[in-house]
Amino acid sequence: MVADMRAIARKAKQAGRSLATLGSAEKSAVLRRMALALRAKSEDLKAQNAADLEKARADGLPAAMLDRLTLSDKVIQGMAQALEEIADLPDPVGTITNMVRRPNGLMVGRMRIPLGVVAMIYESRPNVTADAVGLCLKSGNAVILRGGSEAFHSNQAIVAVLKATLTESGMDPDIIGFIPVTDRAAIMEMLKLEDDIDLVIPRGGEGLIRTVVENSRIPVLKHYKGVCHIFVDRDADLDKAYSICHNAKVQRPGVCNAMETLLVDAAIAEQFLPEMVKRYQESGVEIRGCPRTRNIVPSITTAATEDDWYAEFLDLILAVKVVDTLEEAIDHIERYGSNHTEAIITENYSRSMRFLKEVDSSTVLVNASTRFSDGGQFGLGAEVGISTSKVHAYGPMGVEGLTIEKFVCFGDGQIRQ
Amino acid sequence: MVADMRAIARKAKQAGRSLATLGSAEKSAVLRRMALALRAKSEDLKAQNAADLEKARADGLPAAMLDRLTLSDKVIQGMAQALEEIADLPDPVGTITNMVRRPNGLMVGRMRIPLGVVAMIYESRPNVTADAVGLCLKSGNAVILRGGSEAFHSNQAIVAVLKATLTESGMDPDIIGFIPVTDRAAIMEMLKLEDDIDLVIPRGGEGLIRTVVENSRIPVLKHYKGVCHIFVDRDADLDKAYSICHNAKVQRPGVCNAMETLLVDAAIAEQFLPEMVKRYQESGVEIRGCPRTRNIVPSITTAATEDDWYAEFLDLILAVKVVDTLEEAIDHIERYGSNHTEAIITENYSRSMRFLKEVDSSTVLVNASTRFSDGGQFGLGAEVGISTSKVHAYGPMGVEGLTIEKFVCFGDGQIRQ
């Protein structure tokens, strides 16, 4: 396997060179052709997907996983549309910014370029295959794909369609590298190839991501989990607070930007919590409260444990804590949070600004739902992922996150004295 | 050691929180006080340095290393001045850019913030200790220092002066973490502390850097080496070419942005090479030539080996190759280069632009010496380092390289539909 992984990476790197300087119009045209091809080949894709589904059922995979694995007409249509939307995004590559004239006359600026080769390691959803190819191609990067073993045939079929489109467009099909095995040893080999791969993006469970971080010599962009908080300050507009806190927990509880812990200023807890909890309970949310919370709303029967403050429930469960001050809220977030997304609800100017400055998370909001922490919502277009480590990107990452700036200098004979 | 390393990192992280929102004026004032304190304590510093020098002499370290290790009055003065220059730099922290209004009225922008805790691992020069503290403090980061064992007493003494200044300024001295041992096991433990350390910057030999990359769970910023090329195109202004190629090799051969391989277009090689080689030989440069180079200038007696094309000589040695086309030059750079710095000498517009776009290095110059690839020369102020991996920063990295942008959102009650 060692040689194979290296060969895939080398070919991708080589193929990527031609892509790096390709014009935006050509890249968009290929993405549109890929969308057409996926629609045209939908019966083939569904046939291959059926093989994966059959095996998954035989292996007793849970219904939610079977659902994520299924390539329905709707999912295929979604993949095609996503490629068309990526085609419509602005192309960040080639832009030169910050061009300045130095005292010796040398013009120094920064040109945005692709990273080179991006490896995506992901789990069950086969539509990630098309998204990853689209985002990498748009940003001028070659891509190496390693999807979940349960979606192997589906991913292979999607890749075959996309590679054929590259070939038909006169482009090198090795721009897309596909790892033809599903054992973890292949990942381990790949993570050593720092000379040929520029970035690894693992998307999936915390276990997968930790394995990648521990073993990679290649830079990794990732977030482990989203333990998002909302702090309802004493000067909150309570109507906004009810609406935002309900939305952040209930609208889509299974995603990383949903709220997991609600922090309530003691000064308004008695006024705010009974109505808030009532609305949550009407929506089927299980509340796990600190002692003061349970004292104010005795109908809450579950006590929050230490583990609950760290938990990403991804479900209709919410931990609630009463705090005495803004400082206590910020300290709680610092201690238990995951640097993902936090919000404050307040009409107080100074405390809103303190929260915005002092909370260290990748997205900090005032008077808005944590659910907005998303590349699409922020206007970045399709989302590559969310980074919660403060290197390269922090927060939702769009196509620009797959690029970097190099220095370009226009001289007329300058030498260093 | 495990607990100790974690304690140092935890304390640095905690101390860094107060620093993250400190005003620019306060940070500059502390940096100036540190400069004064280093000057005031120069006799103490030299006494501690003498202990390191004595041991180094006893261990038989080479003269060049003893020179780098020495804290003379001039070096101490240089450290102090560097801190004052860092104090004068603009402070990137707190800037909000790209604030846009989304269709639902949510204002979304990006606020520049410190990374948090930066670990610096470096070798013999003790002045790096003060530089690292200055750059991290300016950018609002706590810093953990691990200098070379041969400079242990010198580094400890510098850190004591800087920590005392923090305390006298009413700041937390744990903003500077100093690893009180010099064994490699401590580094290995530190490299696992991804929850408390945000970035590792190793500066030193390739062996040290590879060890860090292979063992770190924390993101690493580094460059292994600088194998810099100049391509003299057929349409070069030969006077510029002589001057730039001489400067890039001879002005300071021991640094990473000096030229190591000269590529010459075959169309002008017979005209250009004899005079160029003559100038090099007058400056004591040893030439290692490809067969065509040696055919044109028979006085070159050394043949370039395959290893020479990969070599960072850091000395008055130059590999020279004749190539038939711009493409061959770019392919050579792609194969043997280190993504550091390359230049083209030409008066041809289209080929200058192709070289600028297609060469993948962190700095690409037209008609200027590779020696300009430097934070100070590019106007970034003091240099944190140079990155040759295309994540977070690419090329010379100033104070801004020790920061990242988070998303900040001003809402008025927005919820996600």
Distance between CA atoms of B399 and B383, rounded to whole angstroms?
7
Q: ipTM score here? A: 0.94
Same domain (yes/no): A247, A320: yes
CATH number at residue B263: 3.40.309.10
Which residues touch A111 (CB under 8 Å, ≥6 apart)? A94, A95, A96, A405, A406, A407, A408, B356, B357
Instruction: Please report the pLDDT score of residue A124 as a whole number.
Output: 74
Same domain (yes/no): A208, A328: no
Distance between CA atoms of A390 and A362, rounded to whole angstroms?
8
Is B124's pLDDT higher than 80? no
Mean pLDDT over all residues of chain A?
95
Q: What is the mean pLDDT of residues A53-64?
A: 94
Task: Provide the shortest C-alpha distance from residue B391 to chain A (in Å).
Answer: 6
Which residues touch A366 (CB under 8 Å, ≥6 apart)? A343, A344, A345, A346, A352, A355, A356, B409, B410, B411
Same domain (yes/no): B94, B238: no
Nearest CB partner across the interface for A367, out of B116, B357, B412:
B412
Instruction: Please report the pLDDT score of residue A366 as a whole number.
Output: 98
Same domain (yes/no): A286, A347: yes
Residue A120 is assigned to a structural domain of this protein = yes
* B392 contact residues in A (CB cutoff 8 A): 219, 391-392, 404
* A106 contact residues in B (CB cutoff 8 A): 368, 372, 377
Residue A15 is assigned to a structural domain of this protein = yes
Give yes or no for a contact between B144 and B63, defined as CB atoms under 8 angstroms apart. Answer: no
DSSP-assigned beta bridge partners for residue A231:
A263, A344
* Residue A185 burial class via C-beta count within 10 angstroms: exposed 0-12, middle 13-18, buried 19 and up: exposed
The nearest alpha carbon in chain A to B243 belongs to: A415
Instruction: Please report the pLDDT score of residue A3 as a whole number.
Output: 55
Instruction: Please report the pLDDT score of residue B21 as a whole number.
Output: 85
Distance between CA atoms of A25 and A116, rounded to whole angstroms?
20
Is B244's pLDDT higher than 80? yes
Same domain (yes/no): B255, B371: yes
Same domain (yes/no): B214, B251: no
Same domain (yes/no): A265, A163: no
Quote the number of domains for chain B: 2
Is B27's pLDDT higher than 90? yes
* B378 contact residues in A (CB cutoff 8 A): 102, 108, 407
Distance between CA atoms of B170 and B360, rounded to whole angstroms?
47
pLDDT tens for each residue of B356-410: 999 999 999 999 999 999 999 998 888 888 999 999 999 999 999 999 999 999 9
Contact A243 B362 (CB under 8 A): no
A275-289, B2-16, B134-148, B310-324: range with lowest mean pLDDT: B2-16
Give yes or no for a contact between B11 and B166, defined as CB atoms under 8 angstroms apart. Answer: no
pLDDT tens for each residue of A207-228: 889 999 999 999 999 888 999 9
Structure letter (DSSP) for residue A43: H
Nearest CB partner across the interface for A415, out of B219, B243, B373:
B243
Same domain (yes/no): B68, B176: yes
Task: Provide the shortest C-alpha distance from residue A356 to chain B (in Å).
Answer: 7
Instruction: Please report the pLDDT score of residue A184 as a whole number.
Output: 86
CA B352 to chain centre: 27
* A251 contact residues in B (CB cutoff 8 A): 415-416
Contact A111 B405 (CB under 8 A): no
* A367 contact residues in B (CB cutoff 8 A): 410-414
pLDDT above 90 covers what percent of chain A?
90
Amino acid at B160: A
Distance between CA atoms of B202 and B146, rounded to whole angstroms?
9
Contact A390 B199 (CB under 8 A): yes
Instruction: Please report the pLDDT score of residue A14 as a whole number.
Output: 94
Tokens at A146, concatenated: 């390693």
Q: What is the mean pLDDT of residues A108-136?
A: 94
CATH number at residue B46: 3.40.605.10
Same domain (yes/no): B321, B260: yes
Amino acid at A64: A
Q: What is the mean pLDDT of residues A1-18?
A: 87
Is B2's pLDDT higher than 70? no
Distance between CA atoms of A157 and B100, rounded to whole angstroms?
40
Q: What is the mean pLDDT of residues A377-381?
A: 90
Is B1's pLDDT higher than 60? no
Buried b (16+ CB within 10 A) or exposed e, B126-161: bbbbbbbbbbbbbbbbbbbbbbbebbbbbbbbbbbb
CA B403 to chain centre: 16
Structure letter (DSSP) for residue B223: -
Distance between CA atoms of B412 and B396, rounded to whole angstroms?
41
Contact A334 B17 (CB under 8 A): yes
* Residue A342 burial class via C-beta count within 10 angstroms: exposed 0-12, middle 13-18, buried 19 and up: buried
Nearest CB partner across the interface for B364, out of A94, A408, A413:
A408
Residue A268 is assigned to a structural domain of this protein = yes
A61-70, A297-306, B407-416: range with lowest mean pLDDT: A61-70
Task: Provide the shortest C-alpha distance from residue A212 to chain B (in Å).
Answer: 9
| Cα-based angle B403, A391, B165 (whole degrees, multiple of 5) | 40
Buried b (16+ CB within 10 A) or exposed e, A348-369: eeebbebbbbbbbbbbbbbbbb
Residue A379 is assigned to a structural domain of this protein = no
Which residues touch B299 (CB under 8 Å, ≥6 apart)? B277, B281
Instruction: Please report the pLDDT score of residue A82 as a whole number.
Output: 94
Contact A364 B408 (CB under 8 A): yes
Is A2's pLDDT higher than 60? no
Same domain (yes/no): A329, A404: no
Residue A388 is assigned to a structural domain of this protein = no
* Residue B67 burial class via C-beta count within 10 angstroms: exposed 0-12, middle 13-18, buried 19 and up: exposed
Mutate to test the interface with B, among A372, A374, A388, A402 (most CBs of B within 10 A): A372
Contact B116 A360 (CB under 8 A): yes
Contact A372 B251 (CB under 8 A): no
CA B40 to chain centre: 29
Sign of CA dihedral A343, A348, A352, A354: negative
Q: Are strands A341-345 and A317-323 parallel, antiparallel or unpaired?
A: unpaired
Contact A413 B357 (CB under 8 A): no
Residue B415 is assigned to a structural domain of this protein = no
Is B3's pLDDT higher than 70? no
Structure letter (DSSP) for residue A305: P
Same domain (yes/no): A288, A214: no
Distance from the first to the final alpha carbon of chain A: 52
Distance between CA atoms of B293 and A261, rounded to whole angstroms?
70
Q: Are strands A286-289 and A317-323 parallel, antiparallel or unpaired?
A: parallel
The alpha-helical segments, DSSP class H, found in B21-62 are 24-40, 42-58
Distance between CA atoms of A223 and A205, rounded to whole angstroms?
10
Is A230's pLDDT higher than 70? yes
Same domain (yes/no): A192, A300: no
Nearest CA-CA partner of A359 in B413, B408, B15: B408
Residue A309: which domain range? 228-373
Contact B407 A362 (CB under 8 A): yes
Mutate to test the interface with A, among B136, B406, B410 (most CBs of A within 10 A): B406
pTM of the predicted protein model = 0.94
DSSP-assigned beta bridge partners for residue A144:
A119, A177
Nearest CA-CA partner of B220 in A132, A220, A342: A220
Residue B207 is assigned to a structural domain of this protein = yes
Mutate to test the interface with B, among A310, A363, A404 (most CBs of B within 10 A): A404
Distance between CA atoms of A363 and B109, rounded to whole angstroms?
10
Helix, strand or coil for residue A367?
strand
Q: Are strands A96-101 and A107-114 parallel, antiparallel or unpaired?
A: antiparallel
Chains A, B: CB pairs < 8 Å:
223
Residue A386 is assigned to a structural domain of this protein = no
Instruction: Please report the pLDDT score of residue A183 as a whole number.
Output: 83
Give the CA distances from residue A130 to residues A146, A162, A349, A393, in Å, rounded to whole numbers and listed in that order: 12, 8, 44, 23
The Cβ of residue A169 has, within 10 Å, a number of other Cβ atoms equal to 13
